[in-house]
């Protein structure tokens, strides 16, 4: 049982916009920035979004993040086949004094 | 270019000890914390703990406290994750990542660990 809750799966067709939610508590998302990671099959995770809504250099602007209260979301617009991957949210948790992750959302491009 | 390069796959028996490594390059190794993250087969990511290479201060997730030990050798810019007595449930891929908070900006390629009798 992960501290942050994500839907296990999401899907969309090429060109569509999809969103992935991440729900936490006042100890994590409610008081700390949210980060999103993309994990392509068989590879290490990479940082996709930092500080709720910032993109590292090289990440397409099709990816965007937002946070409100104790929830956050990742939006992917103009969905492409290469976006098929697992997506994880993460935040610092003050009650655990550590990093907590969501269980991950497997995105399928139909 | 910042890189974290991890040691290779390991196959061990229950009760054996193990140390895996993560070598940093392309930046001042002592400035950034190193975190370790576990991914069990087909599962999500779990944060094990972190170390500040500048003073070897470590913190662990309550779930892993006492089960693993994190250390560094700054002379070779390398962080370590070690077990004194492995269990089958330690079978997973272990990643090192730069930084000690949720902003894990660079990741190693992962070290698969298999524990089986």
CA A107, B22, A90, B66 torsion-angle sign: positive
A46 with B62: Cβ contact below 8 A: no
Q: Does B62 touch chain A (CB under 8 A)?
A: yes
- A47, A90, A92 ranked by CB distance to B105: nearest: A47
| Per-residue confidence (pLDDT) for residue A29, from 0 to 100 | 98
| Per-residue confidence (pLDDT) for residue B92, from 0 to 100 | 98
**A108: which DSSP letter?**
E
> To the nearest whole percent, how much of chain B has pLDDT over 90?
99
Are A24 and A30 spatial neighbours (Cβ–Cβ below 8 Å)? yes
User: For residue range A61-79, what is the model confidence (pLDDT) as tens digits?
Assistant: 999 999 999 999 999 999 9
| Per-residue confidence (pLDDT) for residue B23, from 0 to 100 | 98
Q: Does B44 touch chain A (CB under 8 A)?
A: yes
CA separation, residue B72 to residues A98, B51, B66, B100, B114 (Å): 19, 8, 17, 14, 23
- B62, B101, B110 ranked by CB distance to A44: nearest: B110
User: For residue range B19-67, what is the model confidence (pLDDT) as tens digits?
Assistant: 999 999 999 999 999 999 999 999 999 999 999 999 999 999 999 999 9
- Element (H or E) spanning A63, and its range? strand A63-68
Q: How far is A3 from chain B (nearest CA, A)?
A: 10
Give the strand pairing for A46-49 and A34-39.
antiparallel
Q: Does B103 touch chain A (CB under 8 A)?
A: yes
Average pLDDT over chain A reads 97
CB pairs under 8 A between A and B: 62
| Per-residue confidence (pLDDT) for residue A26, from 0 to 100 | 97
User: For residue range A10-49, what is the model confidence (pLDDT) as tens digits?
Assistant: 999 999 999 999 999 999 999 999 999 999 999 999 999 9
3-state secondary structure chain B: CCEEEECCCEEECCCCCEEEEEEEECCCCCCCCEEEEEECCCCCEEEEEEEECCCCEEEECCCCCCCCEEEEEHHHCEEEEEECCCCHHHCEEEEEEECCCCCCCCECCCEEEEECC
Cα–Cα dist A5/A48, whole Å: 18
A45 with B45: Cβ contact below 8 A: yes
Instruction: Using an 8 Å CB-CB cutoff, list chain B residues near A50.
Output: 103, 105
For the segment B94-102, the average pLDDT, to the nearest whole number, is: 96
Cα–Cα dist B110/B37, whole Å: 9
- A2, A44, A92 ranked by CB distance to B101: nearest: A92
B103 with A51: Cβ contact below 8 A: yes
For the segment B96-100, the average pLDDT, to the nearest whole number, is: 96
Q: Which residue of A has its CA nearest to B5?
A: A44
Average pLDDT over chain B reads 97
| Per-residue confidence (pLDDT) for residue A1, from 0 to 100 | 83
For the segment B57-83, the average pLDDT, to the nearest whole number, is: 97
Instruction: Using an 8 Å CB-CB cutoff, list chain B residues near A102.
Output: 44
B95 with A91: Cβ contact below 8 A: no
């Amino acid at each position: 049982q992960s501290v942050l809750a994500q839907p296990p799966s999401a899907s969309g067709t090429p060109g569509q916009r999809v969103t992935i939610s991440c729900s936490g508590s006042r100890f994590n998302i409610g008081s700390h920035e949210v980060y999103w990671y993309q994990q392509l099959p068989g590879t290490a995770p990479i940082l996709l979004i930092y500080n709720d809504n910032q993109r590292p250099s090289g990440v397409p602007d099709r990816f965007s993040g937002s946070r409100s209260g104790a929830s956050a979301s990742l939006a992917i617009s103009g969905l492409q086949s290469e976006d098929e991957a697992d997506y994880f949210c993460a935040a610092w948790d003050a009650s655990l004094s550590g990093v907590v992750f969501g269980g991950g959302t497997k995105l399928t491009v139909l | 270019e910042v890189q974290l390069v991890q040691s290779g796959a390991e196959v061990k028996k229950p009760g054996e000890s193990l140390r895996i490594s993560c070598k940093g390059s392309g930046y001042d190794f002592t400035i950034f914390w190193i975190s370790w993250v576990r991914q069990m087969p087909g599962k999500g990511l779990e944060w094990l703990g972190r170390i500040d290479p500048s003073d070897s201060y470590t913190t662990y997730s309550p779930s892993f406290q006492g089960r693993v030990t994190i250390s560094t050798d700054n002379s070779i810019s390398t962080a370590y994750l070690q077990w004194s007595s492995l269990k089958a449930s330690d079978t997973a891929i272990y990643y090192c990542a730069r930084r000690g908070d949720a902003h894990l900006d660079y990741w190693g390629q992962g070290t698969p660990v298999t524990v089986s009798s």
